[in-house]
Amino acid sequence: MSAAEFTLFLEAAVRLGIPLALAALGETISERSGVINIGLEGSIIAGALGGALGALAFQSAGMGVMTGAMAGCAVALVFAAFVIGLGADQIITGTAVTLGGLGMTGAIYQARFGATGTELSLPTLQALPIPVLDRIPLVGSALFAQAPTAYLAYALAPALWYFLFRTPWGLELRAVGEAPDAAKAAGVKVRWIRFFATLTGGILAGVAGAHLTLAHAGTFAEGMSAGKGFIAIAVVVLGRWNPILVLFAALFFGAASALQFFLQALGLDLPYQLFLALPYVLTLAALSGWVGRARAPAALALPWESE
Amino acid sequence: MKPVLARLQGIERRFGSVVALDGADLEIFEGEVHGVLGANGAGKSTLLAVLGGMLAPDAGTMQVGGESVALRSPREAWAHGVALVHQHFTLVPRLSALENLALGRGRCTGLRGEAERLMERTRLRVPLDARIEELGVGDRQRIEILKALLRDPRVLVLDEPTAVLTPEETEGLFQLLREVAADGRGVVLVAHKLDEVLRVADRVTVLRGGQTVLTGTAGAHDIDELVRAMVGSDVADAMALGLPDVTTAASVPGATVSDQEATEPIVRLVGVGVKDGSVDRLSGVDLAVRRGEIVGIAGVEGNGQRELALVLSGRQKPSEGVADLPGGIGFIPQDRSIEGLVADFDLTENVALALHRDARFSRGPWLRWDALGEAAGEIRSRFDVAAPSVSTRVQALSGGNQQRVIVGREIGMASDFLVAENPTRGLDVAAAAFVHQELARLVAEGVGIALVSTDLDEILGLSDRVCVLAGGQLVSVPEGERTRVRIGALMLGGSGA
Amino acid sequence: MVQVRDGPRVRARESILIAIGAVVVTALAGAALLLAGGYDPLAAAGAMLRGAFGSWGAFTSITLVRSVPLILAGLAVALAFQAGVWNIGAEGQLYAGAIAAVWVGLVGGALPGVVLVPLVLLAALGAGCLWAVVPTVMRVRLGVGEVITTILMNFVGIYLAAYMVHGPLQEARGVFPQTDAIAEAARLPKLLPGSRLHLGFAIAVVLAVTLAMVLSRSRVGFQIRAVGASEAAARVSGQIDTRRVLVGTFLLSGAIAGLAGGVEVSGLTYALYENLSPGWGYTAIAVALLAGLNPLGVLVTGVLFGALQAGAGAMQRDAGIPAAWVGVVEALVILAVLGLDRVRRLRGEGA
């Protein structure tokens, strides 16, 4: 494999890993507050369609990212209403939200563009190379000549880390996820924090979906999220709920998805479906190997009754 | 007349259909330690929660520092100078002590310095950067008190602080409370152990049935009067009230077993150890229990009681050593609503938890629900469970009645041996007395009992022999040394120091 | 104060009320959404009902037939949920069962039907069970939550089936991504001559009744319910091996979901192709929850959702509503059940 081929592989890895990173970073925040959002997949697909429709309506990819974020937020709002407002089970609610999100986006898409898939022509997010950095040999163009949403992910990881571990509000959020009763006794508003954390997750997942449509595929297709929401949840576990590690874990998964290019470049001819299944199998393997050592926020997924 | 720091009048509060407070009053003067007495369920914790801003009262007035207030959150309580130290620690285990102190205070530079100065002044030392989960019970309570004191309160309120302390630590705490009061503050102390409260309080208030029934200087009322005020009659379970003249096992009717059976142990643990990962929760435990005797196992929570109870009841195999157990074992776990019962199941199904493998109640793979229903009915009547029928979900029963179901079920299983883990925790006086009666009756029938309890009075009042569990190791207490001081010293041998 | 109104009959009535309430709420919310999208909810409902119940033929050959995989998968999910196992993997287990069934049906052509049909179904059961092994081990041995692992296995199962029909099991002609038709002897007989209703429906009914009896009256059923209601209490009772109950239930659930796939292949399609399942494994969750996890209830809700899917085609043709709409309805049902159940609990505690 030549250097150019490696760079191409790395570039694909980053491009595929960025939506995972964005969604996983958002999920890290919500899980740190004790909420596991299985409906993340719903937020992503909503963001994908929302991004496409917004970009078409405003003829601007940037606006598409905004509408995608809003769509993802709306889905998370439904989830939060049931889980935090009513205290419903997080897992079943999340499953319902994902089903609803997939169904709704499919229905809206079919209604507007017909039952067969049409190729939409969307204004896309152009790659934005960062001067100097993109000249670094081998990795430069892969890491620093990506769409702006990629840079958002790079910036968010350390920012969220700082927020969680060095600010009082991050401390409150972590306390809510570990011991909500103790947090409440210390005067922390548990439900509000969980609410905002969940919405944050939804917004970032929406941006991830918009990235899928506007920077990656250039069009929308039903079910194009293909389980990325679930993989993102696994990425959070692998990254031990630490935003910086989560970013790396997501890029690692992007690499796994990009593996097909790598292997094809090596001249191997394996069944197409094997490559499609690879990220999921790898996720299972990674979860088996790593989980024993990582510890989730103690109150994760447990319902919390306030007085 | 000293200035009044806080005054609550006519406080009422209900939870659903349960009336917790029905017109309770409390007045705290400057410079005093004020004890709030009452049996379990009298409303003490609820009153404190109202004072601390955790709960809003349904009716009644509150004044703090002379002005009328309606506290809607702990934050408002702090703003008015009231700080509450909770009964069940409200610390986040995975955060450090300093982080716990900082929680909820917003941006606070210089907290570390402030905390260190406070630790100097009060002689309450804790390692600020250690995670709570690494610290013992004594340290955790110190951090809770520091958390409250850091808010510079005018009124410091403590809810059952001595439940987890050894006698020596209790004395240290009382000394501190006297100093805090002398500093011009008010200290409110809730407990249900009379003798402890009387040692430290200047004035007392007695709650019964959610109402204030007595208030005055501690010395002006004798013990009998206070007991009557707490319980409403002279007859009371002395152990539940922590009265000073607690008798030894001589008060328990003698076991009617033959000499042969009396010497042959039905339970024998030799060199038993339990590991949790790399930590030794129990090590080198030797214990024998004979028919018709109650062995009391005292100790501060967190020293291996859970593991010992699980091994003794056959629910867990030891990592090392031998546990020789008989066939018919009953187990009363300490967490009745989570481990003792399935909340969503009714009485019959909960009784079935113990009986469903018994051949008398099944026909092949099928259960005989009619027979199980009868068994549940017998338990309901014999143990006086206040439930309309055996099809009532146990969730709807009070704590005392839930415990009756568990006790009834497990005594039925305990043809040879019963393990009781903190069986009267959180029960009112009548329910606690009932449990003690049943234990005494059981042992008189020749069953052996292991009583694992953090309540020293319960242990001293019921046991034939006493052991102390400290740091995972079991130490026998010789007959002549069964005093609170001696046992307290042995308890200190483990963590919690 | 102790609730006087309690007991198993009251609880059963409450569950039915919640189910009916959920259907009503879903209908209202669905109508609102349709109106917002510019569709006519009454026309939609009419089209759906006609498509599902319009004629005896429609009822037996479309609605009931469509309900078979939903009932079976719904039973699998209900059983797992009763034990506290969140098996979201019925979809993948179903595909695994379908693959195994098709394979046996293709290679076993020489055997007589009375032998081959049970073999086909057994293969489906075994494959579904196998598909649940990885998530089971990961939960019981490694403490990894089964929600994510079963979902991941769904994707692997779907891609495995796709691989099979593009590759090793592809039809002899090699034109379409589908298998050849399975042998005559491997096919399930019809229940009603002239209709598409096959033995699978009878199997589903029998299985539902059996599971209902086992759960409510047998020792094992009691243990399953106890572990699901409170794993801690079940463990501390000393009478229940919670690990064995969890593993057994998880694997049995996978097997039943596999059976759903096998029955579909040997009763209706007689071959395997991509997208055999329009998401039955996920719909099964709504089916199970609406039935209050009761196997007999699953018979009813399975037919209900079968009707919904049968009517979806008519809805698209006559009222122009996209087929994906069905997913929204399923989500609404789940949320409605959850919401009403929470309301019931909150009211119960405050009473």
Rounded to the nearest angstrom, the minimum Cα separation between B203 and chain C is 35
* Residue B287 bridge partners (DSSP): B269
Strand ordering across the sheet containing B18-29: B18-29, B4-15, B59-64, B67-68
Those residues of chain A that have pLDDT short of 50 are 307
Q: What is the number of structural domains in chain A? A: 1
Q: Is residue B339 part of a domain?
A: no
Same domain (yes/no): B161, B223:
yes
Mutate to test the interface with C, among A284, A291, A295, A305 (most CBs of C within 10 A): A284
From CA C315, how far away is CA C331, in angstroms rounded?
Answer: 18
Number of domains in chain B: 2
Q: Which of these three, B208, B236, B264, is where a domain ends?
A: B236
Co-location of B96 and B125 in the same domain: yes
**B84, B217: one domain:** yes
* Pair B301, B210 in one domain: no
Alpha-carbon distance C287 to C281, whole Å?
A: 10
pLDDT tens string, chain B, 497 residues long: the values are 678 888 999 999 888 777 888 889 999 999 999 999 887 667 888 898 899 888 889 999 999 988 888 888 888 888 899 998 887 778 999 999 999 999 978 777 788 888 888 888 887 788 999 999 888 777 888 898 888 888 889 999 998 888 777 777 788 888 889 988 998 899 999 876 777 888 899 999 998 888 888 888 888 888 778 877 877 654 445 555 555 444 333 344 444 445 545 568 899 999 999 988 778 889 999 999 999 999 999 987 778 899 999 999 999 999 999 999 999 999 999 988 889 999 889 999 999 999 999 999 999 899 999 999 999 999 999 998 988 889 888 988 888 899 999 999 999 999 999 999 999 887 877 788 889 999 999 999 999 999 999 888 889 889 999 999 988 889 998 888 788 777 877 876 643 33
> Is C238 within 8 Å of B315 when comparing Cβ atoms?
yes
Please check whether residue A21 lies inside any domain of the structure: yes
Single-letter amino acid, residue C278: P
Neighbours of chain A (3+ CB pairs under 8 A): B, C
Are the beta carbons of C219 and B357 separated by less than 8 Å? yes
Q: Residue B264 is part of which domain span?
A: 249-328+414-491
Residue B314, Cβ density class (10 Å: 0-12 exposed, 13-18 middle, ≥19 buried): middle
Could you give the ipTM of this predicted complex? 0.88
CATH of the domain at A30: 1.10.3470
Note whether residue B400 is domain-resident: no
Rounded distance between C-alpha atoms, residue A154 and residue A250, angstroms: 11
User: Which DSSP string corresponds to chain A?
Assistant: --HHHHHHHHHHHHHHHHHHHHHHHHHHHHHHTT---TTHHHHHHHHHHHHHHHHHHHT-HHHHHHHHHHHHHHHHHHHHIIIIIS---HHHHHHHHHHHHHHHHHHHHHHHH-SS------------PPTTGGGSTTTHHHHHSS-HHHHHHHHHHHHHHHHHHHSHHHHHHHHHHH-HHHHHHTT--HHHHHHHHHHHHHHHHHHHHHHIIIIIISS--TTTTTTHHHHHHHHHHHTTT-HHHHHHHHHHHHHHHHHHHHHHHTT----HHHHHHHHHHHHHHHHHHHGGG----TTTT------
pLDDT of residue C60: 81
Q: Can you spell out the DSSP letters for B339-404?
A: II--TTSBHHHHHHHHHTTSGGGEETTEE-HHHHHHHHHHHHHHTT---S-TTSBGGGS-HHHHHH
C289/A97 Cβ within 8 A: no
Within a domain: residue B377? no
pLDDT at A294: 62
DSSP H or E segment with residue B250 = none
Asked if residue B184 is part of any domain, the answer here is yes
- Which residue, among B92, B107, B143, would best test binding to A if mutated, counting the most A CBs under 10 Å from its CB? B92
The pairing of strands B155-159 and B67-68 is: unpaired
Q: What is the pLDDT of residue B248?
A: 36
| End-of-domain residue from the set B171, B205, B236 | B236
Q: Which helix (H) or strand (E) holds B163?
A: none
Question: Is residue A212 included in any domain, yes or no?
Answer: yes
What is d(CA A287, CA A284) in angstroms, rounded to the nearest whole number? 5
What pLDDT sits at residue A116?
A: 67
Q: pLDDT value at position B252?
A: 41
Co-location of B208 and B260 in the same domain: no
Distance to chain C for A122, nearest Cα, Å: 23
Judge: B346–C8 Cβ closer than 8 Å, yes or no.
Answer: yes
Has residue B409 been placed in a domain? no
Residue with the bigger pLDDT between B61 and C11: it is B61
Same domain, B192 and B165: yes
Residues of chain B found within 8 Å of residue C7, distances taken between Cβ atoms: 346, 389, 391-392
Contacts of C221 (CB under 8 A, 6+ apart): C213, C214, C215
CA distance B107 to chain A (A): 6
Residue A287 lies in a domain: yes
Q: Which residues of B touch A295 (CB under 8 A)?
A: 94
Which two three-digit tokens encode residue C327?
């997913």
Asked whether the beta carbons of residue A292 and residue C331 sit closer than 8 angstroms, the reply is no
Determine, yes or no, domain membership for B209: yes
Contact criterion met (CB < 8 Å) for B104 and A174: no
User: What is the CATH classification number for the domain harbouring B191?
Assistant: 3.40.50.300
Residue A144 lies in a domain: no
Q: Which residues of B touch C238 (CB under 8 A)?
A: 313-315, 329, 331
Same-domain check for residues B169 and B257: no
Asked if residue B266 and residue B162 are part of one domain, the reply reads no
Question: Strand (E) positions, B195-306?
Answer: 203-208, 211-217, 265-276, 279-290, 294-298
pLDDT confidence of residue B247: 38
Q: Are residues B276 and B323 in the same domain?
A: yes
DSSP secondary structure code for residue B483 in this structure = S
Q: Does C344 touch chain B (CB under 8 A)?
A: no
Q: Which residues on chain A are in Cβ contact (under 8 Å) with C162?
A: 273, 276
Distance from CA of B342 to the nearest CA of C (A): 6
By Cβ distance, the residue of B367, B386, B387 closest to C219 is B367
B78, B34: one domain = yes
| Last residue in a domain, options B209, B236, B263 | B236
The whole-chain average pLDDT of chain C stands at: 90
Confidence at residue A290, expressed as pLDDT on a 0 to 100 scale: 63
Domain that holds residue A82: 3-114+149-293
Q: How confident is the model at residue B257, as a pLDDT? A: 47
CA C198, CA C186: separation in Å to the nearest integer?
Answer: 13
Please indicate, yes or no, whether the overall pTM of this predicted structure exceeds 0.90: no
- A32 vs B: CB within 8 A: no
Q: In whole angstroms, what is the distance from residue C107 CA to residue B28 CA?
A: 88
All domains in chain C, ordered by first residue? 8-350 (1.10.3470)
Is B119 found in the same domain as B174?
Answer: yes
Interface mutation vs chain C, best among B356, B395, B398, most C CBs within 10 Å? B356
Residues B126 and B197 in one domain: yes
Q: Is the residue at B152 inside a domain? A: yes
Residue B143 lies in a domain: yes
